[in-house]
Structures are given as structure tokens and as C-alpha cells.
Amino acid sequence: MNDVLKDFVRLDLDRKERTGCAEVVYCAGKTPEQTAEIFRRLVEAEGEALGTRAQKEQADAVLKLFPDAVYDPLSKILKVERKEKESIGRIAVCAAGTSDLPVAEEAAQTAEFFGNKVDRFFDIGISGLHRLLGTIDEIRKASCVIAVAGMEGAMPSVLGGLVSVPVIAVPTSVGYGANFQGLSALLAMLNSCANGISVVNIDNGYGAGYIASQINRLAEHGGPEKRS
């Protein structure tokens, strides 16, 4: 193990005790060696580990240690997961367009990793409103909705007026020049007139999946999980 890893990696191994979810690895900016060592230590402590924004070289390094690790190049999710895991409740992950799928899948797989049942509703953006309306009865069965959209970012507002549960809006950097790498979608979502909408950062599928997991656990258990 190199000196940089010894000196600068201080894993928060008590986080699951405090918050209900173990620390997650943000892989961007880390070397393959660092990523693999962090995964090794997390798996030893927790039995599993989740990484976001992972590149193939990082995944290859982790796979050498854990051949059963799974890497999804679309969402850039890298995980070592327990074989038996209960899935509770229901979270709806909605993506406006196919170009939004990397962020939507990051949200969906994050929520699944934390033990939630996820239903996916993809390519239901408002340019073809009938597609969204055709799935709305199923979306309404969820404890919360993640709405992922780029361009003008209007889909979360539409969903906010159609469902009775929290909507987590995720702006993406998908769009032409005046989209400003997702800024226009972010501002549209922040200025939504629909009730019950919260907004995470641009392309932050992980953040949306984490918040949705907390909401879903509250809906299923009726309150925070008790920890000693």
C-alpha cells in the first residue's frame, strides 16, 4: 500500500451505525490501486461496498480482489453486494429521455443497493405526454418518485401535480447550448410551481437514490430505524 493511501484515506466505518447506510466510494479522482484498497477495507468491515462514478480501470482493479463485483458502464456504478438482501417498499425512477439513463440508473442502482424495491419508467418525457400519462397509475404506487430530466427540466413539475408522494427532481446536463450543462434544468426545477418537489444537484443520481431510500424506509417503518 502506498504512502498516500496510508496518510489520506480515513474510512468512516461508523457511518452505518449513525445513519443506517455505510460510506459510499466516490471513485472519480482515485487511482485504481486506491479504489481497490478502499473497497477491500469496506467489504471486510461491512460485507459489501458501493462505488459511484467508477471507470473501467478502477473496476478491473476491484474485480481482481472480488471476482463477484459488478460494474455497470452506463451508470458507472461499481459494487460488491451481499447475495441475500431484502427489498422493501417501492421507489419509482422516471427518466425523461434515453439520454438521461446514466443518471437515472445511478439513482436506481443506489436505491436498490440500500435495500429498496425500484420500478423504472424510462423515456416518458413531456414531449410525448401520453407516455407519462400511460404509466402514471403505476408511478402512483411508489412511496416516492425520482424524476430525472435534462433539456428544460419540466417533467418533475408535471409529476409533482399528479402524485401524492415526494418527488425528487434530478436535473441532467443533457441538452443543447442554452441548457448550460444542466443549469437551465436545475433552475426550472428550483422554480417549479408544483408542490412536494425537492431538487438535488446536476447529474446527482446517487444523491437522489439515497434520499429516496430514506423516504421509503420511513414510509415502510413509520419512523427512523433504531440503532444502539
Dump pLDDT digits (tens) for 89-148.
999 999 999 999 999 999 999 999 999 999 999 999 999 999 999 999 999 999 999 999
**Chain region(s) in the chain for CATH 3.40.50.1970:** 88-221
Instruction: Give the Cα-Cα-Cα angle 15, 212, 202 (nearest 5 degrees).
Output: 95
Binned at pLDDT 50, 70 and 90, residue 228 comes out as: very low
For residues 28 and 141, give the distance between their C-alpha atoms in angstroms, rounded to a whole number.
35
15 or 124, greater pLDDT: 124
* Cell, residue 72: 455497470
Provide the 8-state DSSP code for 226: P
* 122 vs 224, higher pLDDT: 122
CATH topology for the 88-221 domain? Rossmann fold (3.40.50)
DSSP-based three-state secondary structure for 12: coil
Over residues 188-202, the mean pLDDT reads: 95
Number of H helices, E strands in the chain: 10, 9
* Helix (H/G/I), strand (E/B), else coil: 148: strand
Q: Is 47 left (phi over 0), alpha (psi -120 to 50) or beta?
A: left
